[in-house]
Amino acid sequence: MLERVDGEMEIAAGVHVLPAPGHTPGHLAVEVEGALLYAADALLHPLQVARPDIGRGTDADPEQAVATRHLIGEAMGILMGAHNLTEEQAFDTLRRFSQENNVKLREVARRVCEQGSVS
């Protein structure tokens, strides 16, 4: 049975979907067991953290895609500097807070950029 989902939610035990806007309107990323996050719409390649302007020709909203990648990268940089984290740890901090508090990843990133922390 196929069921349409909208927004962040747990779709099976240990499997969550998270909003990942930019490439395709309404696109969702998939997280499995809190360890794997498929975020191809937000970030297709780690290089896009350093160069958020690098997109792909299929972005339905290139400006939103670049803005989302830039915001996530900026938030990661703030967390890395403040807490001596690696890129992976900084992204995981954003992702985990997003999941645990049911807040979109880009909104968590925006909060970090404005307040300096995820909380």
| Token pair for 2 | 């196929």
| Assessment of whether the complete model's pTM goes beyond 0.75 | no
pLDDT value for 53 = 64
3-class DSSP assignment, residue 23: coil
pLDDT value for 36 = 47
Asked if pLDDT for residue 45 goes beyond 80, the answer is no
Long-range (24+ apart) CB contacts under 8 A made by 85-94 are 87/46, 87/49, 93/118, 94/118
Q: 49 or 4, which is more confident? A: 4
Give residue for tokens 């909380």.
Answer: 119
Class for the domain spanning 9-115: mainly alpha
pLDDT value for 79 = 93
Residue pLDDT, tens place only, 60-91: 677 877 788 888 989 999 999 999 999 889 98
Q: Residue 18 in contact with residue 5, Cβ under 8 Å?
A: no
Domain ranges of the chain: 9-115
